[in-house]
Structures are given as C-alpha cells and as structure tokens.
C-alpha cells in the first residue's frame, strides 16, 4: 500500500480529499487540469511558508543587531585586520628587540631570553 511522507495510506487520503476538499467538477479551468491546479496550490503554499520563515529569520537578526548580539560583517573584518596588523608588527619587531640582548651569551641564556620575549608577546596579544 502506497503511503505519504507522514505514513498515511494514500488511497484513503485521496478519497477524503475528493469528498471534502476538491471540487466535484475536476474539469480543466483556464486550460489547467485539477491535479495541476493542486500541485500549483501546494507549491504556492510551500513558497509562502518559506517566505514567512525567511521574514522571521530576518526579523530575528534585526533584533540581535539592535540588542548588540550581532555585529556587521564589515566591522568584524575591520577589527580582525587591525589585530592582524598588530600581530605582524609585534612579531617582526621581536628580532630587533632580542638581538641586542643575546650578543655573546651562551646558547642556554639566548634560548631563555627568546622564550621569555615570545611569552611576553603572546600575553600582550591575548589581552587584545
């Protein structure tokens, strides 16, 4: 027995539709058969449901923007570019700030100084 997506038997559903919903005269109207009209009606209802969902989603996003829960994409990109520039400058200046401190020191002390400077840089970046 053929069933609908929700598990109902198709034959009784069709019978009920014929008796209660569909007009007795299934003759084509404006050159469109009854089954085509029902398909179009179903497509229209589905489109209306999608439209309502999209409208609701849009309104939810607008509320989130108003409440400060959502920020514009351009603002996020601008802030990330600024952070990236700071990270780049900080990392590129690391060699300049460490080199004078390690001249002539044993390898163990050089490693300790570099590790300390790297930790300092990472801590500063984490506070951004």
pTM, whole model, 2 decimals? 0.45
Parts of the chain with a pLDDT under 50: none
The pLDDT assigned to 76 comes to 92
The pLDDT assigned to 62 comes to 92
Q: What is the pLDDT of residues 72-81, one digit of tens each?
A: 899 999 999 9
Phi and psi angles of residue 67, each rounded to the nearest 5 degrees, phi first? -90, 0
The position carrying tokens 């390690």 is: 102
For 73-97, letters b (16+ CB in 10 Å) and e give eeeeeeeeeeeeeeeeebeeeeeee
Sequence spans of domains, the chain: 10-66, 73-126
User: Which pair of structure tokens corresponds to residue 1?
Assistant: 């027995």
């Amino acid at each position: 027995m053929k069933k609908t997506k929700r598990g109902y038997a198709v034959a009784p559903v069709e019978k009920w539709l014929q008796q209660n919903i569909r007009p007795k005269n299934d003759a084509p109207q404006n050159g469109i058969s009854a089954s085509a009209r029902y398909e179009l009606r179903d497509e229209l209802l589905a489109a209306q449901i999608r439209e309502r969902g999209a409208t609701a989603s849009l309104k939810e996003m607008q509320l989130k923007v108003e409440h400060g829960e959502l920020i514009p994409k351009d603002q996020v990109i601008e802030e990330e570019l600024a952070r990236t520039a700071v990270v780049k400058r900080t990392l590129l200046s690391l060699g300049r700030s460490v080199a004078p401190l390690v001249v002539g020191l044993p390898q163990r002390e050089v490693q300790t100084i570099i590790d300390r400077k790297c930790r300092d840089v990472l801590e500063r970046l984490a506070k951004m």
